[in-house]
Structure 1
Amino acid sequence: MKIILRSGAVTAAFGVGLSLVVLPAAPANATEGTHVRCNDINGLVKAINQANTSGGRITLAPHCTYTLTTANNPDDGLPEITGNVTISGRETTIRRARNATQDFRIFHVPPAGGARTLTLNSLTVSGGNLPNFAGGSIWNSGTLNLNRTTIKDNRAETSAGIHNLGGQLNLDHSTIERNTATLNGGGILNGRNQILDQPGTLTMKGGALRNNTALNDAGGGLENLRSTANLDSVAVEGNTAPRGGGINQFAGTLHLKSTTLSNNIAVTGAGLRNAFSTATLDRSLITHNTAITAGGGIFNENSNSVTLTDSKVVRNRPDNCSPAGSVPGCTNPTRTVKPPSSQLPPPAKGSKLRK
């Protein structure tokens, strides 16, 4: 039975002679799910609050845009996720209105005891804006599952797409694109929760980190800080940052399988910057990335561990790996390739660059 959030009674035709009978609205049942009419924001808020209490599935109208004009709480457009909530659509978008006067992200899964899980199926989440805070679209410190979902056109100081702080982030054939951070983590920041001493865990299967930007720091596509990231069959392409255009990691662990890093731009480490970290590439390709100074493919600081297994780092500018010899199996062109002129804006005055 489908339940539709609406007020009033349900009128039904019943019996011989088509006599009309007024029946009361059926009570909501968490196991059966709740359908929310197109752009019914009050209905969506009510459905999330209900699912937080008893768990449940929320189905949004297909080919519809749900536009948030005001925040539900100081930083979030919708209620915080405190239970087990699943929201599904079909070519459905949830976005912050372009003319909204408040700055807010869309979703927040805070840390706490007990299960806090948000699952998004076949949705687009866009327009979040937090110029002085983190997580432009989603902040996750619980469990976040994205299935065939797109996170795009969000802005924040850090982690414009997704801020995964000590949480479990699972992406299945999902795309993070065109998000812009003033500092670091244009697409995703996967980091350790220092208070709980809990690292973030990112698992991404299929999909893409595409055309994201970290304007003044690191990690255009992905910033992996003191945490673990596993990418399988992912396209990391067209991202930009001063350091680590495609991926930047500091004191983290990275595993790339059947993954391609291409057409990313940075001052150093256009494809991958690896600092105090371990990176393993299995049947992966780093190609056609451009660094302004060094590390067109990989910039491996402090001779950290980068292992290439059936993987190639080729046709990057001005070199494939820097310092030369720091990545076993990676060789640089025999002739000098002139670096291009800077394609990055200069860092903002007083910007906070992270180590």
Structure 2
Amino acid sequence: MRFVASAGGAVALTLAVVPMTTVRAAALNPDHENNRIACTADALKDAIDNANGKGGGTIALARGCRYLLDAIDPNSGPSGGPNGLPVVTTPITLRGGKGTSVERSSASGTEEFRIFEVAAPAGFLTLDDLTVRNGHADGDGLAGDGGAVFVNVGRTLLLRSVTLTHNAADGNGGAVNNESGRVIVRSSKVDRNVAGGDGGGIDSEEGVLTIDSSTVDRNTAGENGGGIALSDDAYLTLTKSSVDRNAAVGNAGGIQNAGHLFLRSSHVDRNTAGQEGGGILSSSTAVIDSGSMVGNTAGTDGGGIFNSSVLTIGHSSVNANSAQRGGGIHNIGKVWIGRSVLKDNLAVTEGGGLWNDDQATTESTDIIGNRTSGLGSRGGGVFNNSGNTVLTDTTVTRNEAVMEGGGVFEASGSKVTLVRTRVKDNDPDNCSPSGMITGCAG
């Protein structure tokens, strides 16, 4: 497996792919058109075994069928965890139809197991037009990762018009765990999954994750990344998609980024974190273009976004988020915000819109209607704790603080610079301490 930079600067993962051959699956059902397999778990297992033996192929599933799995497949994969179906080791496509699902039985006494595992030498699993439900990855370490699908090193999972729902992992990745492979999600739903560790919906340990025109909603993580968790050297490109209404007991209600995040025309809204980063927690490089971070909540800092690395935000909305500090954005790294809006965010103590402790720059941005609510709270629009905040061609208006710095508060030893910026109509004052910020009347 090797990483290769594309012409556009994004990163792709180059993987060896074995050419897919056409295979006619075993256990054909003559009552279904196009040689669709019978609606039984045994027929599906036989078909996967047969396809693996022939070097790959396409398996047509019966429309409207629930393929109920009630036992662990005897041959475990490299993860070491139990699976409901044979390990996919060649390029295989499962093609469903209206009402088709593959699921672990919910009958009392059914053992816990994930549904799919994708492994060497040439595993490339494509799921097309079906639902995968009720998988449960059981065990410690990798065995407990990926409630619906576990993707091994260098392998690929492609989802097209697929729903992954009500799956669970004792460890990471309530629905999917990507262990240094490649996962592509198109026009699909990852919702209502649960992880005991990181990544309530999807956990990506290195490798590449691409999500397009899809939803990762209402998932829960017992640790970090309610919707999605990225580890070091993982890459996520999120396009025209949503990561909404997820929850994490720890950090990052929506997305935990410890890798590389590229978010375009997507929204991360109404997520909840028990600690930092209600919407997004980013400790590595991130680019947000035409994004929405609205209505997120953090128990401590960074209602919309918590940033400790290098973050670029353009043409985006960070609105109506809440936290103890930094209702909209809490920055202890380097953040550039251009042509964006920070509006109606709430902090209990400091920095309703923006809280900065390193380097923050805004250009052509509106910081409007943010507030602090606690007794003695300061910096309704901006609270500069230390480091430098530079506001260029920016409007800071109608923000409120309980004590001082309704618009901007500059802590001792820090620096706020206004360049062609208007700070007006804030309450109880525009800038504090009075006379310390050049170009701003108290």
Is the structural similarity TM-score above 0.5?
yes
Gaps of 5+ in 2: 1-21, 113-135, 138-146, 376-442
**CA 1:333/1:256 → structure 2, altered by over 3 Å: closer, same or farther?**
closer
What are the residue-to-residue correspondences of 1:106-255 with 2, within 5 Å? 106-112=148-154, 116-131=155-170, 133-141=171-179, 142-157=181-196, 158-192=198-232, 199-215=233-249, 217-225=250-258, 227-241=259-273, 242-250=275-283, 252-255=284-287
1:16 is matched with which residue? none
Q: 1:110 to 1:325 in 2, by over 3 A?
A: closer
Deviations 1:215-266 (A, max 9, x none): 1x111111111x111111112111111211111122x111111111111111
Match of 2:27 in 1: 6
Q: 1:328 aligns with which of 361, 372, 390?
A: 361
> Does the residue aligned with 1:122 lie in a helix, a strand or coil?
strand
What amino acid maps onto 1:203 in structure 2?
T
- Secondary structure at the counterpart of residue 276 of structure 2: coil
1:297 aligned partner? 328
What SS does the corresponding residue of 1:209 show, helix, strand or coil?
coil
Give the distance between the partners of 2:263 and 2:66, measured in 1 at CA: 30
Cα distance in 2 for partners of 1:283, 1:34 equals 50
Give the structure 2 partner of residue 338 of structure 1: 373
Could you say what the CA RMSD is over the residues aligned between the two structures, in angstroms? 3.0
The structure-2 alpha-carbon separation of the partners of 1:59 and 1:150, relative to structure 1 and needing over 3 Å to count, comes to farther
For residue 111 of structure 1, give the secondary structure of its aligned residue in structure 2: coil
Q: SS at the partner of 1:146?
A: strand
Instruction: Give, in angstroms, the shift of residue 47 of structure 1.
Output: 4.1
Structure 1 match to 2:302 = 269
Q: Which residue of 1 aligns with 2:427?
A: none
Structure 1 residue 281 displacement after superposition: 1.3
Structure 1 runs not aligned, ≥5 long: 12-32, 193-198, 341-355
Shift of 1:86: 3.7
Is residue 4–residue 36 contact of structure 1 (8 Å, CA) maintained in 2?
A: yes
Structure 1 position 44 matched with structure 2 position 37 = no
Distance of aligned partners of 1:106 and 1:200 in 2 relative to their CA distance in 1, 3 Å threshold: same
1:110 Cα shift? 0.5
Q: Amino acid of the residue matched to residue 177 of structure 1?
A: D
Whichever residue aligns with residue 326 of structure 2, its letter is: G
The share of aligned pairs that are identical, in percent, is 29
Normalised by the length of structure 1, the TM-score is: 0.74
- Indicate the structure (1 or 2) with the bigger Cα radius of gyration: 2
Cα-to-partner distance string for 1:330-352 (whole Å, 9 max, x where unaligned): 77668852169xxxxxxxxxxxx
CA distance in 2, matches of 1:323, 1:34: 62
In structure 1, the partner of 2:143 is none
CA contact (8 A) 1:85 1:117 kept: no
Larger relative contact order, structure 1 or 2 (CA cutoff 8 Å, min sep 6): 1
Residue in structure 2 matched with residue 282 of structure 1 by the alignment: 314
Helix, strand or coil at the partner of 2:272: coil
Map Cα deviations across residues 139-186 of structure 1 (whole Å, 9 max, x no partner): 112111111111111111221211111111111111111111111121
Alpha-carbon separation, structure 1, partners of 2:202 and 2:35: 26
Seen in structure 2, the aligned counterparts of structure 1 residues 219 and 97 have a Cα distance that, compared at 3 Å, is: farther
Q: Cα gap change, 1:80/1:174 in structure 2, threshold over 3 Å: closer, same or farther?
A: farther
In 2: Cα distance, 1:128 partner to 1:235 partner: 23
Residues in 2 aligned to 1:265 and 1:325: alpha-carbon distance in whole angstroms:
23
Alignment correspondent of 2:386: none
Please give the alpha-carbon distance, in whole angstroms, between the structure 1 residues aligned to 2:87 and 2:25.
22
Matches of 2:236 and 2:370 in 1, distance apart?
Answer: 38
Work out which of the residue numbers 91, 104, 115 in structure 2 matches 1:84.
91
Structure 2 length as normaliser, TM-score?
Answer: 0.61
Q: Is the Cα–Cα contact under 8 Å of residues 255 and 281 in structure 2 kept in the other structure?
A: yes
Q: 2:212, 2:35 → 1: CA distance?
A: 24
